[in-house]
Structure 1
Amino acid sequence: MRTAERTDVGRIRSVNEDRAVILPEKYGTVIAIIADGMGGHQAGDIASQLAIEKIREELSGLPEGATLEERKVAIRLAVEAANAEVYRQASQREQLRGMGTTVVVSLATPDQLVVGHIGDSRAYLAADSRLVQLTEDHSLVNELLKSGQITREEADHHPRRNVLLRALGTDTEVQVDVVEHSWTEGDILLMCSDGLSNMVNEEECLEVLQSEHSLEHKVDELVERALSAGGDDNVTVVLIENRPAEASGKEG
């Protein structure tokens, strides 16, 4: 598979609390993780780094030929392990108390996507000229939107849109949402922190993803659009395209 990633501190923040990693393809599976830390300067970037490292470690032993159910269980257990690690470190060190992070992690095979997440970092699938959001934000604003208390337009500009109802590392236990979705050759998985989704609408994202440019150009274009729109948060974007990596001359 073809992959591309980019993270940027943005135009306002002095520290990048986002982290992202794409693991080398193994047994026909690509693993990608994004974490958006919170808790201020050091604590936020430590939380996201810890989460990435723990999930990476837990998923590195995924066996060849793992079934769909086994992949779903693996993601859930990996995120739960990361939650325990971040919570433990936050409890032991005063300067890290209260830190946490969002996380979105995907296991991509040529015919199936499995995505787990906590918080408001997102995964989208670009397929059949549509952009479908695979994750659901664990945020106050999303709950207000679902209950009909605010409109979509109000949600986009709500003063408390960054308030999370669920995060990794802030409690001893956490509920992980895990979804599955089929995809075919040519489809693109977009994973991002809210530094992209809060600044660039879905129509613009789809426009970029459907362009004839390379995957690297597309990931750069998405980040640049977020920066041009204000860049008031860290911006992180991961793209996975369902095409053979060899065809692009880049190992996925």
Structure 2
Amino acid sequence: MARIAAVTDQGRRRSNQDSHGSGVRSTSLGEVTLGVVCDGVGGLAQGEVASSTVVRAVERWFSETLDEVLAEPDEAGAASGEKDAAPAGAASAGDGICSQRVMDSLDNLVASANASILRYAAAHGGKMGTTLSALLCARGRFLAVQVGDSRVYHVTPTSARLVTEDQTLAARDVLQGRMTREEARTSDRRSVLLQAIGSQESILPIFYEGAYEPGDLFVLVSDGAWHLQEAAGITQAFSPLTEAGEKDLELACHRVIKRDLSLGEGDNLTILVVGPEG
């Protein structure tokens, strides 16, 4: 069975605009695990409404739509969970949870949530927005969907690797060679998002996929929980716990947040740990 642990903290803000959700369900692929973290955009109205709206939408999709998407036939006429030609653990990039139809369905979900938040904001005379980092795991494969600068880390017994890329001005500057990663860590441009759900007419979610081993963990964090940690802090906190139970994982989340607050982090902080079935 999957292991899931989560902790969120208001930090030094007047309200907590972070939201998170998770789920586990049996499908044609076997057990599928979901994790999602959203962070309402600072400076915009009702960020907590935007973030919770998207989390609830992802959870509804997971419980009500995923089975239908997996059952849709591909070009060869087989449903997503029926491709058994490849050896176990060797699913192709287009198979199962990483199939194009799953990504298309999630893309439609993001577009629908974006339109819904835009309508709500227009009706209430304001602007709203939220990041999105969501993760699906099944049969040794993972699919992550990203909008904004919350993050997904893949944690093994020896390391933590950043799966997603921040969609910020600073991250773009690093990719284009105009700024080093060290400069980006302290730049004001690291907080300027290139896109957020609900803040613009069109959203382009970015998808990441890969493989995981039994016992691996995925750590989803809002930006307040990674600013002072980065991969080294995530590794130190969670790599020794790849075989741990949910209670120990929750305690580790509390320790990370307590350390961030002691170092002066002022933002909302959310950590969601997902240990999928092997």
SS in 1 for 2:188: coil
Number of the residue aligned with 2:172: 143
Partner of 2:25: 25
How far 1:128 moved relative to its partner? 5.5
Matches of 2:42 and 2:254 in 1, distance apart?
27
Contact 1:8–1:234 under 8 Å retained in 2: yes
Deviation digits for residues 77-111 of structure 1, max 9, x if unmatched? 222221111111112211xx221000111111141
- Larger Rg over CA atoms: 2
Q: 1:32 to 1:123 in 2, by over 3 A?
A: same
Partners of 1:32 and 1:25 in 2: how far apart? 12
Q: SS of the counterpart of 1:35? A: strand
**SS of structure 2 residue aligned to 1:166:** coil
Does 2:83 align with 1:52?
Answer: no
Q: Distance in 1 between matches of 2:256 and 2:102?
A: 29
5+ long unaligned stretches in structure 1: 245-252
Question: Are 2:140 and 1:111 aligned?
Answer: yes
Match of 1:248 in 2: none
Please say which of residues 202-211 and 221-230 is displaced more in the overlay: 221-230
Tell me by how many angstroms 1:42 deviates: 5.2
The match for 1:168 among 172, 197, 217 is 197
The aligned counterpart of 2:5 is 4
Equivalences, count? 241
2:251 matches 1:217: yes
State the match for 1:192 in structure 2. 221
8 Å CA contact 2:160–2:239 kept in 1: the answer is no
How far residue 181 of structure 1 moved from its aligned partner, in angstroms, is 1.1
| SS across alignment from 1:14 | coil
TM-score (norm. length: structure 1):
0.89
Displacement of 1:130 in angstroms is 2.1
Please list every run of 5 or more consecutive structure 2 residues that lacks an aligned counterpart in the other structure. 72-79, 81-95
Report the AA paired with residue 186 of structure 1: G
Counterpart in the other structure of 2:109: 78
Question: Which position in structure 1 is the counterpart of 2:272?
Answer: 238
Cα offsets for 1:139-192 (capped at 9, x unmatched):
000011111212211111112321001111112221010111110101110111
Q: 1:110 to 1:240 in 2, by over 3 A?
A: farther
**What's the secondary structure of 1:211's corresponding residue?**
helix
Deviation at 1:24, TM superposition (A): 3.6
Shift of 1:52: 1.2
Q: CA separation in 2, counterparts of 1:111 and 1:150?
A: 36
Trace 1:121-132 onto structure 2 (pairs within 5 A).
Answer: 121-127=150-156, 129-132=158-161
Aligned with residue 159 of structure 1, among 188, 207, 211:
188
3-state secondary structure, aligned to 2:58: helix
TM-score normalised per structure 2: 0.81
Distance 2:277 2:258 in 1: 25
**8 Å contact 1:131–1:202 — kept in the other structure?**
yes
Letter in 2 for 1:72: M
CA distance in structure 2 between the aligned counterparts of 1:6 and 1:199, rounded to whole angstroms? 17
